[in-house]
């Protein structure tokens, strides 16, 4: 993100909070030096330190602005997964994501993050997907001693 864009965002935030006498660049300096959320590049752009933070915030923005529509998502990546989790009911997201493969990141994130979803609907869809497309299933013990694979 270019610095001019971020200073604009910070200025707007400060204005909304009724704080007008602080240089937004100082706030950016503090974020970079103290929070560990972002870093400044030599060309004075800003990057999130971890893609996960960026994905989470992007997903949060998408959900809060009402612009997350599972049926229009093309890539079921971590960002889509976070959005599904934050949307309250991840059922449709999980069902749509299964169209892009059973092992997609978003579906996994919904399971791991304890997203709310209709178990029966999603389970039925998992079964349907397994039947429709050949999937390689890897079964392993907890110690991963005897790895077995089943072709479905």
Partner 1 sequence: MSHDFFTSARPHFITALLAAALYERSRDTAVDVIVGYCLWELQKRDLRLDKQTAKEIRVTYGSLDFSFHVHKRSGMVTVLPTQLLDSSSE
What residues line the site for partner 1 (CB under 8 A)?
102-103, 108, 111-112, 114, 119-120, 122-124, 126-127, 130-131, 135-140, 142, 150-152
Q: Which is nearer to partner 1, 37 or 102 (CB)?
A: 102
Closest distance between partner 1 and the C-beta of residue 139, in Å? 6
Closest distance between partner 1 and the C-beta of residue 73, in Å? 20
Closest distance between partner 1 and the C-beta of residue 87, in Å? 18
Distances (CA, A) of 100 to 35, 45, 62, 94, 105: 36, 34, 21, 10, 10
Distances (CA, A) of 122 to 23, 27, 93, 128, 129: 50, 45, 10, 10, 10
Tokens 């999980």 identify what position? 94
Q: Which is nearer to partner 1, 62 or 104 (CB)?
A: 104
Question: What is the C-alpha to C-alpha distance for residues 70 and 95, in angstroms, rounded to an integer?
Answer: 9
Q: Which is nearer to partner 1, 30 or 103 (CB)?
A: 103
Closest distance between partner 1 and the C-beta of residue 109, in Å? 9
What is the torsional sign of CA 73, 77, 40, 33?
positive
Output helix, strand, coil percentages for the chain, rounded to the nearest 5: 55, 10, 35
Closest distance between partner 1 and the C-beta of residue 140, in Å? 5
């Amino acid at each position: 993100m270019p610095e001019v864009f971020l200073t604009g965002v910070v200025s707007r935030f400060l204005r909304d909070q009724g704080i007008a006498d602080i240089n937004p660049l100082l706030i950016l300096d503090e974020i970079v030096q103290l929070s560990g959320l972002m870093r400044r590049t030599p060309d004075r752009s800003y990057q999130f330190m971890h893609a996960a933070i960026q994905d989470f915030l992007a997903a949060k923005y998408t959900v809060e602005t009402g612009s997350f529509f599972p049926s229009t998502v093309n890539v079921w990546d971590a960002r889509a997964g976070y959005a599904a989790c934050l949307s309250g009911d991840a059922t449709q997201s999980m069902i749509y994501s299964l169209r892009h493969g059973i092992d997609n990141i978003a579906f996994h994130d919904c399971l791991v993050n304890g997203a709310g979803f209709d178990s029966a609907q999603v389970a039925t869809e998992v079964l349907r997907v397994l039947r429709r497309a050949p999937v390689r299933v890897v079964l392993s013990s907890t110690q991963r001693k005897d790895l077995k694979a089943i072709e479905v």
